[in-house]
């Protein structure tokens, strides 16, 4: 890999690492959503208007729980978010190792693999959201 290609791997790895560190420093909200407000962000507009969770409700909370080793609580907060946090953990390490080695660790990812991973995260998020709407 060229220096430019290595940098192109390090930049998203550092962005993911920043998200992971941020989530790891936050205290998970016991309600299962709202942790993002510790960043100065407003409450979920969808939730404020409809008193129902949006598909992303609980994502930040799920990351914060996962990084504390509370897998069950992460799943309850947002299963898709927990999967996304897992992908971020693995992806950060994989991108950094590949960049430092100068070649893909375990092979270059196919577009199909990326679509499948993010399709699964999206499907899990949608199913949990529909379940929450039906149960509330």
Please tell me which residue, 89 or 107, carries the higher pLDDT value.
89
Average pLDDT over the chain reads 95
Where residue 32 falls among pLDDT bands split at 50, 70, 90?
A: confident
50-57: Cβ within 8 A, 24+ apart: 52/132, 52/133, 52/136, 53/129, 53/132, 53/133, 53/136, 54/129, 55/80, 55/125, 55/126, 55/129, 56/81, 56/125, 57/32, 57/33
Domain boundaries defined on the chain: 3-135
pLDDT score, position 111: 94
pLDDT over threshold 90, residue 136:
no
- What mean pLDDT do residues 96-103 have? 96
What is the pLDDT averaged over residues 114-127?
95
Identify the sign of the CA torsion 136, 27, 60, 76. negative
Per-residue pLDDT tens for 35-86? Answer: 999 999 999 999 999 999 999 999 999 999 999 999 999 999 999 999 999 9
């Amino acid at each position: 890999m060229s220096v430019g290609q290595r940098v192109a791997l390090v930049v998203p790895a550092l962005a993911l690492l920043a998200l992971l560190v941020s989530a790891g420093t936050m205290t998970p909200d016991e309600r299962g959503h709202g942790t993002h407000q510790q960043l100065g962000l407003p409450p979920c507009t969808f939730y404020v208007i409809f008193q129902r969770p949006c598909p992303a409700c609980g994502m930040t909370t799920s990351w914060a729980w996962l990084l504390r080793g509370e897998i069950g609580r992460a799943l309850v907060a947002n299963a898709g978010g927990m999967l996304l946090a897992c992908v971020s953990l693995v992806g950060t390490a994989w991108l950094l190792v590949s960049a430092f080695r100068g070649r893909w660790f375990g092979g270059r990812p196919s577009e199909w693999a990326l679509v499948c991973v993010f399709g699964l995260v999206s499907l899990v998020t949608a199913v949990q959201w529909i379940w929450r709407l039906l149960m509330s």
